[in-house]
Amino acid sequence: MAEKPVHIVSDIHLGAVPKETEHSFVRWLENAGQNASRLIINGDLFDFWFEYRSAIPRGHTRVLGALTSLVDAGLPITMMGGNHDWWGGSYLTDEVGLTFLQDPVMLNLAGHRTFLAHGDGLGRGDLGYRMLRGVVRGRFTRWCFAWLHPDMGAALAKRISRTEHRQNKTSNEEHARSKALRAWSRVKLTEEPDLDLVVLGHTHVPVIEEIEPHRFYVNSGDWVYHRSYLVLQNGEPPTLTEWHG
């Protein structure tokens, strides 16, 4: 029998999407547990996540429970920190049991040599965000934020995030970021001939593009608009699909 595929998903934004979306994602996780050999969440699982020393953000109990059950059943799960949940830590690794990454990484996924990153800060443009990103992720900023009461921290994050107020279709800004990441990925694949895949998220725009024969740029899309995810099978080209279960 063929080895089970790798499933990759990104940009679920729990906390800023309807409860029905969260329940649907739990059902998708259960399906992945039966049909995937590995699960990768490529950033922004949460619309906000910050681990205080003795507290974690309220909610998402069913998703965290489903992830824990999958790990306990033997499914390897990797989570990449995104621009909304880069501040993950020991709760996710020690309590839930997944592997948490904060920087882009090169992986072998279903026989594909893959560059995996959330996508924020890559490509041309978005200079304001890149400058802010360095400050927000700095040790001093994190130390200061940790002293805020969790309710204040969550309220501040909600005020900054725009996910909850988005319309039901991708914005012009998101399409512009999608074009920038596609251009960046083409250059990446051209400059690194031993690379098979560049897999990103962040833009909320699902994309699969064959740059050269058997070499692809893929963006897994999101669960705010599309409920899309990427499937990687050994010996086959990558596929994007939408969850309707």
Does residue 189 form part of some domain? yes
pLDDT digits (tens, 9 = 90+) for 6-47: 999 999 999 999 999 999 999 999 999 999 999 999 999 999
Residue 39 in tokens: 């699960």
**Residue pair 177/154 in contact by the 8 Å Cβ criterion:** no
Dist. CA 231–CA 124, nearest whole Å: 28
Q: Decide if pLDDT at 165 tops 60.
A: no
Q: Are strands 207-212 and 197-200 parallel, antiparallel or unpaired?
A: unpaired
* Residue 192 within a domain: yes
Q: Where are the alpha helices (DSSP H) in the chain?
A: 19-35, 61-72, 90, 127-136, 139-146, 150-160, 172-191
In a domain, 1, yes or no: no
Name the residue type at position 1: M
Q: What pLDDT band is residue 101 in, cutting at 50, 70 and 90?
A: very high
CA gap 35, 231 in Å, rounded: 10
Look at residue 75 and tell me if it is in a domain.
yes
Specify the pLDDT at position 12.
96
What pTM value is reported for the model?
Answer: 0.90
- Side-chain-side CA neighbours of residue 151 (13 Å): 0
Tell me: pLDDT of 164 over 70: no
Does residue 212 belong to any structural domain of this protein? yes
Q: What is the mean pLDDT of the chain?
A: 89
Domain presence at residue 42:
yes
Please report the pLDDT score of residue 88 as a whole number.
Answer: 87
The answer to whether the beta carbons of residues 30 and 66 sit under 8 Å apart is yes
- Could you give the CA distance from residue 160 to residue 140 in angstroms, rounded to a whole number? 19
Task: Kindly report, residue by residue over 36-50, the tens digit of the pLDDT.
Answer: 999 999 999 999 888
CA 190 to CA 221: how far, in whole Å?
A: 23
- Judge whether 142 lies within some domain: yes
Higher pLDDT, 244 or 245: 244
CATH of the domain at 73: 3.60.21.10
- At residue 102, does pLDDT exceed 90? yes
**CA 101, CA 86: separation in Å to the nearest integer?**
8
Domain limits at 178?
A: 6-242
* Domains of the chain: total: 1
In a domain, 154, yes or no: yes
Q: What pLDDT digit, counting tens, does each position of 173-183 carry?
A: 888 889 999 99
Higher pLDDT pick, 174 / 198:
198
Does residue 133 have a pLDDT over 80? no
